[in-house]
Amino acid sequence: MSLEERISQDIKTAMLAQDKVRLDALRAIKSAILLAKTEGEHKDTLAPESEARLLQKQYKQRKESAEQYVQAGRQELADKELAEAAIIEEYMPKMLSADELKAELVKIIGQVGAKAPSDLGKVMGVASKLLAGRADGKAISDMAKQLLGGS
């Protein structure tokens, strides 16, 4: 079952349960999926990497909004955003731990033949494709810099 089908099914379940927060989060995901499909090369379905990136973007938006609401003293809105982020997180692929990320990057560095911090671009090009949706871009970059000795 694709992510879109799963979301549609869960929207129906949330409607029946009258779970407004879950319904809002699921509708936002569905809207983002439909928008991504109409925007570009993904006319029929989204690739799993695209789905993962889309979910990460939605998750990150909710977290950032919650931070801004807390700073503005609007805790009730921050709580709503955090609840939606938790729901979105349920649909995200499992993220790599720091050790798993390091192991993957060591393999990639070996494949690419990178030896110095100047080879970071080569490593990032391959790593961002292979690890899409399973690790945050900043985490990949930081770990790659560390492994290449350019901390």
Higher pLDDT, 64 or 49: 64
Q: How many CB atoms lie within 10 A of CB 72?
A: 10
Least confident of 33-37, 44-48, 83-87, 138-142: 44-48
Residue 66 has a pLDDT of 94
pTM for the model:
0.69
Which of 65 and 106 is assigned the larger pLDDT?
65
Q: Which domains does the chain have, with CATH numbers?
A: 3-91 (1.10.1510.10), 98-147 (1.10.10.410)
SS3 at position 34: helix
Place of tokens 């810099």: 145
Residue range 79-106, pLDDT digits in tens: 999 999 999 988 887 877 888 888 888 8
| Euclidean distance between CA atoms 62 and 87, whole angstroms | 11
On the question of pLDDT at 34 being above 60, the answer is yes
pLDDT at residue 67, as a whole number: 95
For the chain, give the mean pLDDT.
85
